[in-house]
């Protein structure tokens, strides 16, 4: 097994390095922030002014119907994918390579990324369709095809997502689980691989609704538990928090000693903060819109589900990633930029002893396992877009289980590098599409804002918006009674 893994990885390394070097160093670091700022300004800082309303919307959206899952299930399923190894291992790696300032750039990525996440999920809702079973389906591939009339673009994106979420990303999370569970409990890689395959198979063979039901109870449990423990660490070390905040800000702008001087320190912090921030919250990547489209929105308006998914970015990065960053920085453990799981475990042991390592292992299991499930739903959605039937779904499910085994046995660095390359390709395609459809996003947002300002619960009927009707299913966006 080890020989086969080394053979595959030696072939992948040059390709992965080239993709990462071009897209990350010259395109995405600035492109993601630029697109986020663009939508933040076009939407009048929607992610800030509508933050209380986001909480109101998700409180109402707890019921689905025959065609769609509930907005709360959609949020939990997208959080299942968002909240994963990036929140534990990824933060530690970013701090190790980019210094404490990387955390600042993760925050920046999240704040502007909330606007990007809103835009892509609003578009996914508008251009969604019904599949052969009457279930809502949609996402970037659909709005590229129906909104932009560029099916070649949709096909390219769908294939890239199948490779990333259906294969590469699941291996990343399996790898992180293997490290955490092996260190904390002494499980062998074979035991971990067999256990993960069996547990994953039980759920993914039930399809999207099976994953959504599991995520609905698992995600709130794991997120609240982790945040509570991190909050206790911060509260019991409150006197040191101002110094940590100062360190983060100074490092972000090269005011702390760093290899490569001031500019080198800023570049390292920004690059790693943005990379790990995007990997964690997925804003602009085109992943969460796949499950956003599967929801029956409450209120009955495309923008409401965009607001729900924007809230997901806030929870993922500004809450959970920040919690990990503060625990590591308060612990005094030095991140080395390699085995992020072990760094987070070491940080927790400073405050909780051996139990801290066990807790991180358990948290890593839940975070990474739910991410694998969420990733599968995205891949399933795009396989159906490409015309895959029941036979195709069977192949996808078996492939998803196979890459879990590969991930358990792989080396850390090549797995993370492959994930970075796959993510960069997806994000590049999606960012172009949502900027091209920015006018549609703005019109939907203005309509939603006007109805709220009039004191009404927003509703959307496509017959009232002839300028947006091209490519939209009128049977889905027909007139409904205000909710």
Q: In angstroms, rounded to a whole number, what is the distance separating the alpha carbons of residues 446 and 159?
A: 34
Nearest to 305 by CA among 81, 119, 442, 51: 119
- Per-residue pLDDT tens for 9-34? 666 667 777 777 777 777 777 788 88
The Cβ of residue 363 has, within 10 Å, a number of other Cβ atoms equal to 23
- Per-residue pLDDT tens for 155-186? 999 988 888 888 777 777 787 777 767 766 77
Angstrom distances, CA of residue 282 to CA of 138, 277, 313, 419: 17, 8, 8, 12
Nearest to 101 by CA among 271, 345, 337, 321: 271
| Residue 116 banded pLDDT, cuts 50, 70, 90 | very high
pTM, two decimal places: 0.85
Residue 323 predicted with pLDDT over 70: yes
pLDDT of residue 377: 86
């Amino acid at each position: 097994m080890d020989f086969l893994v080394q053979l595959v990885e030696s072939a992948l390394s040059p390709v992965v390095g080239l993709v990462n070097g071009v897209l990350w160093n010259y395109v995405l670091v600035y492109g993601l922030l630029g697109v986020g700022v663009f939508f933040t300004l076009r939407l009048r800082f929607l992610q800030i002014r509508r933050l209380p309303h986001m909480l109101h919307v998700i409180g109402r959206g707890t019921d689905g119907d025959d065609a769609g899952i509930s907005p709360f299930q959609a949020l939990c399923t997208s959080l299942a994918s968002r909240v994963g190894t990036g929140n534990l291992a990824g933060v530690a790696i970013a701090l190790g390579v980019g210094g404490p300032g990387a955390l600042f750039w993760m925050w920046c990525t999240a704040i502007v990324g909330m606007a990007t996440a809103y835009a892509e999920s609003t578009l996914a809702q508008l251009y969604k369709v019904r599949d052969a079973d009457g279930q809502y389906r949609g996402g970037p591939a659909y709005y590229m095809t129906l909104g932009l009339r560029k099916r070649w673009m949709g096909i390219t994106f769908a294939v890239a997502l199948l490779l990333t979420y259906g294969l590469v990303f699941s291996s990343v999370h399996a790898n992180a689980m293997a490290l955490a569970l092996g260190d904390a409990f002494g499980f062998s890689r074979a035991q971990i691989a067999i256990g993960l395959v069996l547990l994953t198979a039980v759920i993914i063979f039930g399809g999207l609704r099976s994953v959504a039901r599991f995520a609905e109870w698992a995600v709130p449990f794991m997120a609240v538990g982790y945040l509570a423990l991190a909050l206790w660490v911060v509260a019991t070390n409150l006197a040191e928090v101002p110094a940590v905040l100062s360190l983060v800000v100074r490092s972000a702008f090269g005011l702390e000693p760093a290899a490569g001087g001031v500019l080198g320190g800023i570049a390292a912090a920004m690059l790693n903060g943005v990379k790990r921030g995007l990997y964690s919250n997925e804003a602009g990547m085109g992943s969460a819109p796949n499950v956003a489209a599967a929801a029956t929105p409450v209120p009955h308006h495309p923008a409401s589900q965009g607001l729900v998914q924007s809230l997901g970015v806030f929870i993922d990065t500004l809450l959970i990633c920040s919690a990990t960053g503060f625990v590591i920085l308060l612990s005094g453990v030095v991140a080395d930029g390699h085995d992020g799981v072990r760094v987070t475990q070491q940080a927790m042991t400073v405050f909780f002893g051996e139990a801290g390592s066990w807790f991180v292992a358990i948290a890593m299991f839940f975070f990474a396992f739910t991410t694998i499930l969420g990733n599968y739903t995205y891949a399933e959605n795009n396989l159906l877009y490409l015309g895959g039937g029941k036979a195709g779904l069977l192949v996808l499910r078996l492939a998803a289980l196979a890459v879990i085994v590969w991930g358990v046995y792989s080396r850390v660095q090549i797995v993370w590098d492959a994930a970075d390359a796959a993510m960069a390709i997806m994000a590049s395609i999606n960012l172009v599409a949502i900027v091209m459809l920015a006018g549609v996003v703005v019109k939907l947002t203005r309509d939603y804002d006007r109805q709220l300002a009039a004191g009404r619960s927003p509703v959307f009927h496509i017959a009232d918006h002839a300028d947006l009707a091209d490519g939209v299913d009128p049977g889905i966006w027909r007139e409904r009674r205000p909710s």
